[in-house]
Amino acid sequence: MQSVRFQLLYYPDYIDLLSTFLYICGMKMIINVNTERLHRVMKLTGIKTKTEAVDFALRTAERLAEKTTLLNTRLEASDLENAVDPAYDLTSLRRKDTPW
């Protein structure tokens, strides 16, 4: 551990490399989560780990926010005329949009 401290003190590039590595690979966080709700979500969705459950919750919240933003935009009929390609497969989109 002494060598790591030495590198951190005397080699600022090492700090940049370390922070880049942690950013790319992900970082551990401490968060307060309702464990009962977390276990219910894991049971309902079949998710095996807490990390996957939190990631699932974040993806679901992000998708919901994007849909809400889209629904709140006021579009005219002229905006929607060429919005969808006639060859677009709506069924495959609905299957893809399933959260699990």
Quick one: pLDDT at residue 98?
A: 67
- pTM to 2 decimal places: 0.53
What is the torsion angle, in degrees rounded to the nearest 10, for the CA atoms of residue 29, residue 35, residue 37 and residue 39? Answer: 100
d(CA 25, CA 20): 9
Q: Is the dihedral of CA 28, 58, 31, 51 positive or negative?
A: negative
Q: Which amino acid is at 36?
A: E
Across the chain, what does the average pLDDT equal?
A: 76
For 16, other C-beta atoms within 10 Å of its C-beta total: 10
Domain regions of the chain by residue span = 1-27, 31-72
CA angle at 94 for the pair 46 and 51, rounded to the nearest 5°: 30
